[in-house]
Structures are given as C-alpha cells and as structure tokens.
Amino acid sequence: MKFKTYVHRITHEMKNKPGKAIHIGAVGACKRKGFTRHQEYKKSNPNIIGIDDKAKLVKRAHNKGHKEIFVADITNKEQVNKIIEKHGTFEHLILTEVSEHVGNLTMMFDNIYSMMTDTSQLYISTPNIRSDYVIKYWQSQQRYKVNNDHIAWFCIKTITTLLKRSNLTIVHSREYKKSLFVIAKRSDKC
C-alpha cells in the first residue's frame, strides 16, 4: 500500500496494530499548525500520550484539552525512566520532525530503545538532506538552513548509522517530498 504522507502511514500502522503509543515532540509545531498532527495520531490510537520539553507549549496543550501531553526531555534518562514507570513500554513510538533539533542523538535513541519492546515500532521522519526539494530551496535562498533550530541533517546512511549505535534497525524507509521516513525496531545485533 502506498501512502500519501508519513502521517497516513503511521496512523495506518497504529490502527492495524493495537498498543500504547507515545508521540515524542508532541507540541513542537503547535504555534504554526495547532495540534493537528497529534490529534490525527490520537484519532487512530486513543491510547497515546505525548511528551515535549517545551513547558509553555505543553501548558497550552493542556488548556486546549490535551491532558495526555507531558513535559519531558527525551534525552534525560531520569525523566524517561519516570515515563516508563508510569506508563510502561510502548508499541508505537512517534518521532516526527524532532531528530534534527536534538543535540545528543545517541542518548535520545538509547532512551527510546528503553521504551520499546521486541515488537515495538519507532516511526521517524526528518528533513532529507538529499531531497531535490531541500537542495532547490537552499539554492533559491542562497543559504543552507531551512529552520534556525535545525542542528543536524540526515540521509538514509546517517540515520541507519545512528540507529545501529542504539541497537535499532530500519525495517522500512521511504522518501517523501522533503522528508526521510523510516520505521525501526529493536535489534539483537550491535
């Protein structure tokens, strides 16, 4: 089955495979897009929580009725352990358009690994450095940043290497207009 966007793919996966879900970076784009992405995920899996390290935006989410979103930093092991203690592990872990903002990617992926079971799926999307769209944008703007918060760029090789360091392996990948999308699982191999 071919999906128009990675959001459609994620919602399809969650509808067809029951289990708890966590949306990491759940309020990151809320100023621009409201909570539309999180709401779409919640429609396909009401058993979802969200986390984000931006306390002001989480408060805004609470004011809009999203009490299932919590303040937590995915790179902070202590905070991640508290989430696991309270909610257990997750079958679906959503990390869309977050990785390019994170300074300690190995810590983030190690923490995500600890939130997974052997049957869990991790959904990652990130701007694709090799996308024609991104390259043309850079050329037209004569600058090499799309967003001032981005500190890293990825292609399939770099994301594969990062995931492997945290004992995760890619089971599906696809390039969309400007994003790279992968589904990863826990791996027994280092």
What DSSP letter does each residue of 89-109 carry, written as one string?
-EEEEEEES-GGG-S-HHHHH
Q: What is the mean pLDDT of residues 133-161?
A: 69
Tell me whether residue 98 is in a domain.
yes
Q: How far apart are CA 35 and CA 43, in angstroms?
A: 12
Strand partners, 124: 95, 182
The dihedral sign for the CA sequence 47, 53, 57, 62: positive
Q: Which of 181, 169, 80 is nearest to 120 (CA)?
A: 169
In this predicted structure, the answer to whether residue 135 has a pLDDT above a threshold of 90 is no
Residue 97 is predicted with a pLDDT of: 80
Q: What is the mean pLDDT of residues 63-67?
A: 90
28 vs 171 pLDDT, higher one: 171
In this predicted structure, the answer to whether residue 190 has a pLDDT above a threshold of 50 is no
Q: How far apart are CA 178 and CA 89, in angstroms?
A: 31
Domains in the chain, number: 1
Q: Which of 120, 111, 117, 69 is nearest to 93 (CA)?
A: 120
pLDDT tens digits, 23-37: 998 887 555 556 788
Q: What percentage of the chain carries pLDDT values higher than 70? A: 82
Tell me whether residue 1 is in a domain.
no
Tell me whether residue 91 is in a domain.
yes
CATH number at residue 70: 3.40.50.150
Residue bearing tokens 């989480």 = 58
Tell me whether residue 87 is in a domain.
yes
Tell me whether residue 160 is in a domain.
yes
In this predicted structure, the answer to whether residue 3 has a pLDDT above a threshold of 90 is no
Residue 117 is predicted with a pLDDT of: 96
Q: How far apart are CA 79 and CA 182, in angstroms?
A: 25
Residue 64 is predicted with a pLDDT of: 87
Tell me whether residue 84 is in a domain.
yes
| pTM metric for this prediction | 0.88
Domain coverage including residue 85: 6-186
Tell me whether residue 39 is in a domain.
yes
Task: Report the chain's mean pLDDT, rounded to a whole number.
Answer: 85
In this predicted structure, the answer to whether residue 148 has a pLDDT above a threshold of 80 is no
In this predicted structure, the answer to whether residue 115 has a pLDDT above a threshold of 90 is yes
Give CA separation, 26 vs 15, 73, 95, 158, in Å. 19, 11, 9, 24
Residue 30 is predicted with a pLDDT of: 55
Least trusted range by pLDDT, from 96-105, 135-144, 175-184: 135-144
67 vs 149 pLDDT, higher one: 67
